[in-house]
A and B are shown apart, each in its own frame.
Chain A
Amino acid sequence: MYRYDYIDRAFVEDRAAEFRGQVARRLAGEITEDQFKPLRLMNGLYLQLHAYMLRVSIPYGTLTPNQLRKLAWIARTYDKGYGHFTTRQNIQFHWIKLKDVPDILGHLADVEMHALQTSGNCIRNVTSDPRAGASADEIEDPRIWSEIIRQWAAIHPEFSFLPRKFKIAVTATAHDRTAARLHDIGLLMRKGRDGGVGFEVIVGGGMGRTPYVGPTIRDVLPAEHLLSYLEAVLRVYNRHGRRDNIYKARIKILVAQLGAEEFARQVEAEWAQIDHPAIDAPQAEVDRVRAAFAPPAFEAVTGRSDAFEAAKAASSSLARFARNNVHLHKQPGYAIVDISLKAPGETPGDATAEQMELVADLAERFSLGELRVTHEQNLVLPHVKLDDVAAVHAALAGAGLASANINLVSDIIACPGLDYCALANARAIPIAQDIALRFAAADQAENIGELKIKISGCINACGHHHVGHIGILGVDKKGEEFYQLSLGGSAAEDAEVGKILGPAIPADKVTDAVDHLVGVYLRERHAGERFIDTYRRVGLVPFKEAVYAEAH
């Protein structure tokens, strides 16, 4: 894993010191809230319905045990004892006092963390595959290039006042776990013909009120030119992206208006004029970062664990956990273990300080000191020996963290919604809780299989409703919370924006509607089909009929 050197350390210390000065000026009344707003936003500090919210960056979703312990300590010391993991692999604290923020940034800097660029119209946290370094089919660890991008983007002199926020995702396997095609830039690692590493460059995907699956503007970009190429994309956007209308300011609108071909032409023309060696990370730097992500010291063990097999045979709950939360690792005898933060009835993505500390301990003891955050708001122990899975499961079960529901109906993405967010039209969390409780029976949930439900409390789509197999969008209808359902979205390599099912329905009908949708799927499915597969085969009509039958 990448560790800070003297430069990185000085950088986050300087950032914390800078914000301490800015907060002091605000608290002394030397600057107004209007003047302060852009300064706090650059440090991830939002003013929400009830309090300040601090969003802490977790670059490419990778954490050390000590970093997670520090987040737990911050939750306990400065918040109400919990934190909320987000759809961009970050963590939010929702009950923060302004006067504490400089100290919090100082504590984060102590463990090589920051809240830099987690808000504002700048390049946001780079997201990546939560299984990086553990997947058998990955070309190379995508965090190498994510870290190179993280540094390049940090207080970029030219691209810190963009028309709108800017999000980059990097992935290196055929199966996309980063929603790359729904980012401002998605980078899919490809092996070039010469054996070198390159990227397929996707620009202009996004959600919000105008969702787009991003087009590819370059099939293979040699990785060594990544930064100069990104600089060209950002420069075209900074110059030509719309600034007159906040809803049309994302790069997806520029790409859609110009057309992908013309946009690509402008980028290539700009790139041709950039002094590549001045901008691109030199080989020595790439080598330095690559070395930091060298595989951890795996033990040589056999691919089969008799202890694990025996434990599964003895415990149906462990067997269920193994079926749903334990995944194949590239290293024989190891597994990737997903920790669900979606216990039915709980807030999706929330973890208490005690839960964070337990997971940190497990990562230290059983996962070679590594853990990850997923954009689906769960945690991952990426390197667990099969021999240790039963012990990990038992420890998780004792902390309410053993929900065996990864990718199942209750593994719901939800934004904070109207319970916290000033932008929301409707609540998202109670809807998620209600659906999860309806489908809490584990056998039933497993029988239903992979089903991705995503809920947003407003059209900004932080809950990714556009790309849910079932998407749920909160809308305000004359002061009442209504919900618009959509079907058939996907955030994976087969990315697609879902289709609206019909008129919005009241809050108390949403879970019934999901029940009807699941009923149609169970009735119509062919052997081996997931919900999304059946939908793609039979189309919207039978689902629509089932949900709106009562109204006819």
Chain B
Amino acid sequence: MSNLCKNDIALSCKDLSFSYQQTKVLHNISLQFHKGEFIALLGKNGAGKSTLLSCLIGLLPSDFSHLEITGLNPLSASRTAIARQVSFVPQEHDDMFPFSVVDVVVMGRTVYLGPFGAPRDIDYTSVHEILEELYISHLKQRIYNTLSGGEKQLVLLARALVQTRTMVFLDEPTNHLDYKNRFQILANLKKQCVENNSCVVACLHDPNYANIFADRVILINEGRIVADGKTDEIMTGEAISRLYGLAVNRSNRTVEPCFCQPAYAGKVLLLVGASGSGKTTTLQKILSNNKQLNFAGIICPGTWKNDKRHSSTVINISTGESTLFAKRSDEYDSPFTFFKNGQKVADRALVAEELHGTDCIIVDEVGPLELRDGGHAPQLPPLLSLEKPKHIWAIRPSIVAHVCSKWMLVDPVIIDVNDANATSQIQHFLKSKQEGL
């Protein structure tokens, strides 16, 4: 973005926060959009993408230290002034009176009419031009409500373009569109960036569309920007895996889920055993038997009181760093207290970006906390997306099926820790070459 000068700034905001019913939905968002950029917002459902768009154009009242759309503050400037700079294509718009397509599109010209004005011939001329440009002139007498999803989206895009091409915001424009129409609408938007120097900002569901069309991507998770930059630099397999919680890798220009790739099958060994059945002991044995292999990850040996796990220590296998991870507050059935420092040590041991060359990643253990997206859960999809390493996860018998489904494991090797041959089976797993490699 170094080649873009200051005059090209279309929107800038600093420290924007938004709360909905006392819950903070957006946290200190700061960003700048430039003219001619195609920006894709990516994130899980409920990450705050749509909310961010609505806040930026002043549809929702947000707190910020600075917010400017081409020099205007969206909360104090008139709606007309804002609407001359930014047009918005909503997600879906079905609860409309049965207006004709021309009537819908001409509403985009409202900003150029006085309060008592009605569209003039000149407005209809630009409506017809836009319809021509998007190749939907044949729809103009149709009733909007009777159109197909793709046609509706194109009509709403026409309404936005007839309003202004300076900035166009779109909330999931590819929803309800068929395979071809998705590309068509995005290609149209890209054309606006290139030919009219428009700034296009779109929430997208599929990272591949961002990959193909966007100059810049902004990754949003739980109301925070986790990454913002050029598409090629930001869209690594690890980042996307972490964002969506699904292991994916990126080759050339496409992002592909790992579960549909042959190399992924049989990559994970689930070491199954009840609490105290010796999973950690087995793992330690494996580690000392295979000094020639490059291991990473964590093991969590525990102390025991009255046949119950009392505390647990986390050890970083590569560095040997260790700290107290969790502890019961008394001897009886009280729940574990987890220590923040322990999770930090674990997180440092499980950074996917640093483990490309590892032979095997050990995670001891994946439990109910991870199934609720806590603990190590955010690290697991990026780790799974790494091509080389195999995985050994220690888990309890009751959650095997749930773990397989949550991380979309394909043909996991499942070994009971109480099996007499457990160790030799793990050795076999470590030696075996993965298919496709």
Q: Do A and B come from one complex?
A: no
Binding site for B on A (CB under 8 A): none
Chain B residues at the A interface, C-beta cutoff of 8 Å: none
